[in-house]
Structure 1
Amino acid sequence: MIQIEDVHKHFGPLHVLKGVSLSVEKGEVLSMIGGSGSGKSTMLMCINGLEAIEKGRISVDGVEVHAKSTDINRLRRKIGIVFQQWNAFPHLTVLENVMLAPRKVLRKSRHEAEEIAIEQLRHVGLGEKLKSFPSRLSGGQQQRMAIARALAMSPDYMLFDEVTSALDPQLVGEVLDTLRMLSHEGMTMIVVTHEMRFAREVSDRVAFFCKGQIHELGTPDQIFESPERPETIDFLRSAI
């Protein structure tokens, strides 16, 4: 499980995370919602060890992420992360992009890495795009390639940071369908999203962030049907 305890994070004088505590069980889908600048994306970065924390503790399967003794690169193999931008290597084909991490990080042979990459690209519906270059893909296809690239590392957890925010509206659905598929397969996921319908349909729990804190945490029905905090009510009025 992922355990977050009283986490604080600053960017200079800006106090971005103010004592966030949260746990995510294996197989759970947690959506983080809230306005821009509320701390959601920073929380994901801290879970993956991409940002340091000033106070508190984050552990993944009992391993403390920010401990000096932790092999962070080894730990990150368990935690896939997909960002708003897919950051593919333009000179490599789709297949080669997805093969890269298994070869370089997991030290797989070229044959093994190719088998893994083909399996994951087919998994996300890109089996016919293996020899294409990223520039020949739509935005939705590029984002699905990024998901396949993360899955190729066989992670136990997947973190998604606004993976549909850079897409044209007509392409959002295909990426959300991929996340739905992963949730049905039992993948543990933390999803930062502005897609309220997705958060409501797919999540086991929803965390509403406001000003660096979790103001409300509960099931989708609790958050969307019976929110208790005025900040949650105001946000949902503007977001739905």
Structure 2
Amino acid sequence: MIEIRNVRKSFGNHEVIKGVSLEVKKGEVLCLIGASGSGKSTMLQCINGLEPIQAGEILVDGISVHAKSTDLNLLRQKLGIVFQQYNAFPHLNALENVALAPRIVRKMRPKDALEIAREHLDYVGLSAQAEQYPTSLSGGQQQRLAIARALAMKPDYMLFDEVTSALDPELVGEVLDTIRKLRTNGMTMIMVTHDIAFARESADRVAFFDGGVICEIGDARQVITAPNKERTQQFLQRVLH
């Protein structure tokens, strides 16, 4: 599981995460919702060790992410992360993009890495685009390519940071369908999203971030349809109407 214990994170004098604690169990899907600047995306980056923390502890399967003794490169093989920017290598085709990390990080033979890449492109519905370069793919296809690239490292957990926010509305569905498929297959996921309907439908739990703290957390349908806290009610009324 992922355990977050009283984590604090600051940028200079500005504290963006103020003592957050939560646990995410294997097979669970947790959505982080809240206004921009509330600390959601920063929390994901702290979980993956991309940002240092000032206090507290984050454990992934019992391994302390920010301990000096932790091999972050090894630990990150457990944690796939997908951002709203696709970050594909433009000089490599889709197949080569997905095969790159297994070949370099996992030291796979090129033939085996390409086989893994084909498998994961098929998983996200991009088999027909294997030889295409990222610039010739639609936004939705590029985002699915990013998901395939993360999955090719065979992570135990997937972190998604606003993966549909940069897409045209008609392309959002194909990415969400891929995430639904991952959920059906039992992938543990933490997702930052502004898509409240998707969070209600697909998450086990929802955590509402406000001002760097978790204002409310609980069953996704309960929190979104009948929140207990007034601040959560105000936020949902604003984004749902």
Work out whether the TM-score is over 0.5. yes
Alignment of 1:129-208 (within 5 A): 129-208=129-208
- Separation in structure 1 between the aligned mates of residue 203 and residue 190 of structure 2, nearest angstrom: 9
Two-structure CA RMSD over aligned residues (Å): 0.5
- The Cα offsets for residues 126-175 of structure 1, whole Å up to 9 and x where unpaired, read as 00001000011000000000000000000000000000010011101110
Amino acid at match of 2:83: F
Q: Which residue of 2 aligns with 1:4?
A: 4
Q: Which residue of 2 aligns with 1:82?
A: 82
Displaced runs of 4+ in structure 1, greater than 4 A?
Answer: none
Amino acid at match of 1:205: R
- Separation in structure 2 between the aligned mates of residue 154 and residue 192 of structure 1, nearest angstrom: 21
Percent same amino acid among aligned pairs?
63
3-state DSSP of counterpart to 1:179 = helix
- The Cα offsets for residues 1-58 of structure 1, whole Å up to 9 and x where unpaired, read as 0000000000011110000000000000000000000000000000000000000000
1:54 aligns with 2:54: yes
- Separation in structure 1 between the aligned mates of residue 231 and residue 171 of structure 2, nearest angstrom: 30
- The Cα offsets for residues 49-71 of structure 1, whole Å up to 9 and x where unpaired, read as 00000000000000000000000
Amino acid at match of 2:50: L
Superposed displacement of residue 221, structure 1: 2.2
Q: Which residue of 2 aligns with 1:214?
A: 214
Q: Which residue of 2 aligns with 1:73?
A: 73
TM normalised by structure 1 equals 0.99
Q: Is the 8 A contact 2:201 2:221 kept in 1?
A: no
- Separation in structure 2 between the aligned mates of residue 141 and residue 225 of structure 1, nearest angstrom: 32
- The Cα offsets for residues 202-221 of structure 1, whole Å up to 9 and x where unpaired, read as 10000000000000000012
- Separation in structure 1 between the aligned mates of residue 219 and residue 171 of structure 2, nearest angstrom: 27
- Separation in structure 1 between the aligned mates of residue 140 and residue 29 of structure 2, nearest angstrom: 21
Q: Which residue of 2 aligns with 1:31?
A: 31
- Separation in structure 2 between the aligned mates of residue 89 and residue 72 of structure 1, nearest angstrom: 23
3-state DSSP of counterpart to 1:77 = helix
- Separation in structure 1 between the aligned mates of residue 125 and residue 190 of structure 2, nearest angstrom: 22
Instruction: Note the residue ranges of structure 1 that are not aligned, 5 or more in a row.
Output: none
